[in-house]
Amino acid sequence: MTKLNSNTIISVVDSLLGDITPVGESNRDEIVMKNLKTAIDIVNWLLDGIADSAKTRHRYERSMRVIGERAFSAMCEWKNWLEDTINLD
């Protein structure tokens, strides 16, 4: 079975999920809220998996250490982005 690449997965998720930005129309925004809750669930699941991978960054095995370092680095980038985004609000 061939794995999908990032762009294809993003396209599939976008198609399945739908809009997550409110538009100011109550009926439409009710759907957007459901989509947003689903998106949050997906992101939480993904972040949990990445955090698990990051725990291997101190392992002796090179492959585990490299993967853990990559996951931890991504988490640090997201932390900085989240802090900057929150501080702009």
Tell me how far apart the alpha carbons of residues 9 and 47 are, in angstroms, rounded to a whole number: 16
Mean of pLDDT values over 66-81: 98
Q: Coil, strand or helix: which one is 57?
A: coil
- For the four alpha carbons of 11, 13, 17 and 19, in that order, the dihedral sign comes to negative
The predicted structure's pLDDT at residue 2: 85
What are the residue ranges spanned by the domains of the chain? 22-88
Tell me how far apart the alpha carbons of residues 27 and 14 are, in angstroms, rounded to a whole number: 20
State pLDDT tens for residues 9-60.
999 999 999 999 999 999 999 999 999 999 999 999 999 999 999 999 999 9
Tell me how far apart the alpha carbons of residues 27 and 22 are, in angstroms, rounded to a whole number: 10
